[in-house]
Structure 1
Amino acid sequence: MNAPVVLHVAATPASPALVLRPWRPEDVAALVQVSRDPGLSLWASSVVDDEAQGAQWVRTRQQDWAGGDRLGFAVLEEQGDSAGGRLVGSVVLKDAAPGRPAAEVGYWTAARARGRGVASRSLAALTGWAFDTFAADGLERLELLHQVDNLASCRVAQKGGYDFDSILPASPPAFPHDGHLHIRRASA
């Protein structure tokens, strides 16, 4: 998956239009600023504390994209061009590969964008694109995981048509708490 992919999400009364596109070096400063949110660091699997870490994080996302195994999108408020505008979140598709029936999705939202449907709208765009792009390669379902105490992520999963499947046991240190597994099937 080397071709650049840009997804557009229509505006709503509560939120401007969104652009989902692969991460770029010019996103580093905004990524560092957004990462200073204590709420984000509570749920995120990796934290960016400074410009050097931000640059490495973006380079890793670009390498992941080039390798095709982790397709991460910066989510930006649209400002009239395909480059987008202000960073408001991130969505990712993990482990989508020919012959694999399942892949995982993930997301986070900047503090200033929470409560405006950014996560659910971005997840819907990613979900549609993933099934459109990978169903012919055998993708049958998408899995969404979050900690049991992350009620906002549970609501996003439900809004996105991801049905609750099971409770996953904690696996410290990476996953110190039990989690929820939600599943969205291609036919849903």
Structure 2
Amino acid sequence: MTATRPVPDTASGLLLRPWRATDAAALAAAHRDDAMRRWLTDPLDDEAGARRWIDEQRTAAERGERFSFAVLEETGELAGQVVLREIRPGAPTAEVGYWTAAPARGRRVAPRALEALTGWAFTVLDGLTALELTHQESNRASCRVAERCRYALDRVLAPWPPRYPGPGHVHVRHRDG
């Protein structure tokens, strides 16, 4: 897979596009939300960190290893992120992830964006048969998003402190699911 493949463009009123350097301020602001920081494994602390992170996403996409998309509302405001990661050529599985910015919560941004990313991944990744979605067991909102998007609970993970202090869930969606 190459980074020249088309990216998801719209999902029920959302725009999914690769991150841009001009997104750094909005990205850093989103990461200041205490509720979101609770679930993130690597929160960003400032605009400089956000710019570095955006550069890392571009490099990973160029290598075909990870595709991270800013999720924008029709107004152009940052609503969240979706990511396709753990990509290995010809591998049957990859992983998805997402977050929703505080001002966009409660509007089903995550499920709409995840559906768009899921469809795109199954279209462009040769040999992909399943996508995995992992979250902390106590993150009930992520569980609801997974279920809404037909990612079935597959297994429970043991805690792995300090990165994952509590048990986790792995949900899986199969290409035919």
TM-score (norm 2): 0.95
Question: Which stretch has the larger CA shift, 26-35 or 93-102?
Answer: 93-102
Q: Is 1:158 aligned with 2:144?
A: no
Deviation at 1:31, TM superposition (A): 0.5
Answer yes or no: is the 8 Å Cα contact 1:96–1:139 preserved in 2.
no
2:164 alignment counterpart: 175
Q: Is 1:122 aligned with 2:113?
A: yes
2:11 alignment counterpart: 9
1:130-149 pair list within 5 angstroms:
130-134=121-125, 137-149=126-138
Answer yes or no: is the 8 Å Cα contact 1:148–1:179 preserved in 2.
yes
Deviations 1:124-157 (A, max 9, x none): 00000000111xx211100000000000000000
Q: Distance in 2 between matches of 1:152 and 1:61?
A: 25
Answer yes or no: is the 8 Å Cα contact 1:61–1:71 preserved in 2.
yes
2:45 alignment counterpart: 49
Deviation at 1:6, TM superposition (A): 4.1
- Say which SS state the counterpart of residue 174 (structure 1) adopts: coil
Answer yes or no: is the 8 Å Cα contact 2:8–2:120 preserved in 1.
no
Q: Is 1:187 aligned with 2:171?
A: no
2:60 alignment counterpart: 64
Q: Kindly provide the amino acid, as one letter, of the partner of residue 152 in structure 2.
A: D
1:107 alignment counterpart: 98
Answer yes or no: is the 8 Å Cα contact 2:81–2:99 preserved in 1.
yes
- Sequence identity (%): 49
1:88 alignment counterpart: 79
Q: Kindly provide the amino acid, as one letter, of the partner of residue 122 in structure 1.
A: A
Q: How many pairs does the alignment contain?
A: 175
1:18-37 pair list within 5 angstroms:
18-37=14-33
Deviation at 1:78, TM superposition (A): 2.2
Deviation at 1:51, TM superposition (A): 1.4
Answer yes or no: is the 8 Å Cα contact 1:6–1:22 preserved in 2.
no
Q: Distance in 1 between matches of 2:40 and 2:104?
A: 16
Q: Distance in 1 between matches of 2:40 and 2:142?
A: 12
> What stretches of structure 1 of length at least 5 have no aligned partner?
11-16, 80-84
Q: Kindly provide the amino acid, as one letter, of the partner of residue 161 in structure 1.
A: R
> What stretches of structure 2 of length at least 5 have no aligned partner?
none
